Chain A
Amino acid sequence: GAVVSQHPSWVICKSGTSVKIECRSLDFQATTMFWYRQFPKQSLMLMATSNEGSKATYEQGVEKDKFLINHASLTLSTLTVTSAHPEDSSFYICSARELAGRYEQYFGPGTRLTVT
């Protein structure tokens, strides 16, 4: 149980284009999903917290117009990197929290984004 998938697992795009990454909870309903960014050999940096049906809350320094998050249902959240630049290349990981009051986060396998 508690499986989270991400799609795609890797993507290469050209500068200036937009890329959408999907995060799905496969066998549970996720009231809250988190998006992280991880640089090589570094820890996870929380980018934003999204709750189903409401606007995402972004961490300080994360551009909300660049990283669009939509949590359309209790099993799906999407992260769209708009007008991507090479510095956006990174490993993006989502996680999902099952129910309010339960604090475990279950992580997706990550999406490797390379912007050329």
Chain B
Amino acid sequence: GEDVEQSLFLSVREGDSSVINCTYTDSSSTYLYWYKQEPGAGLQLLTYIFSNMDMKQDQRLTVLLNKKDKHLSLRIADTQTGDSAIYFCAESSSTDSWGKFQFGAGTQVVVTP
């Protein structure tokens, strides 16, 4: 079945760039997402990218997609302490009429002063 994998932990210094990586297996993936979850809260949609794009930039966030390698990354520039959270990548496919997501396990990002 479909699988989405992420590294589990990332430690980064305040002001540095963070890069969170994600790989997926479903070649029919159409949309790929990054969500942020803070403790005890729901998921906040950060950004998404269509599979026919290879890059998307939104303020401090840059998403890179290598469709050939099925690799997705999220770069956070000038990382702040408020960026400490769990980041989930998710994918959905146009072949699923309900748009069900496959989530990765989440990457815990810890920002140190």
Which residues of A line the B interface, CB within 8 A? 4, 6, 32, 34, 42-44, 46, 49, 51, 57, 93, 95, 97, 103-110, 112
Contact digits for B2-38, partner A, Cβ 8 Å, 1 yes 0 no: 0000000000000000000000000000110101000
- How far apart sit A46 and B2, CA to CA, in the bound complex (Å)? 14
Residue B45 at the chain A interface, CB threshold 8 Å? yes
Please tell me if the beta carbons of B103 and A107 are within 8 angstroms of each other in the complex. Answer: no
Known: A43-B88, A51-B98. A103 touches B41 (CB 8 A): no
The interface residues of chain B lying within 8 Å CB-to-CB of A34 are: 100-101
Report if A42-B105 is in contact (Cβ < 8 Å); known contacts: A32-B99, A97-B99.
yes
Bound CA span A44–B102, Å: 9
Give how many B residues have a beta carbon under 8 Å from the other chain's beta carbons: 22
Chain B residues with CB under 8 A of A57? 98
A103 touches B42 (CB 8 A): no
Residues of A within 8 A of B40 (CB): 110, 112
Instruction: Decide if B57 is an interface residue (CB 8 Å cutoff).
Output: no
- Listed in ascending order, the chain B residues whose CB lies under 8 Å from chain A are 30-31, 33, 35, 40-45, 48, 88, 92, 94, 98-101, 103-106
Contacting pair B105 A103 (CB below 8 A): no
CA A66 – CA B18 in complex, angstroms? 42
> Smallest distance from the beta carbon of A28 to chain B beta carbons, Å?
13
- Decide: B98 and A105 in contact? CB cutoff 8 A: no
The smallest beta-carbon distance between B9 and chain A, in angstroms, is 11
CB atoms of A110 and B41 under 8 A apart: yes
A43 touches B105 (CB 8 A): yes
Q: Compute how far the CA of A104 lies from the CA of B101 in the bound complex, rounded to whole angstroms.
A: 9
A-B contact pairs, 13 of them (CB 8 A): A32-B98, A32-B99, A42-B105, A43-B105, A46-B100, A49-B98, A93-B42, A103-B30, A103-B99, A104-B33, A104-B45, A107-B35, A110-B42
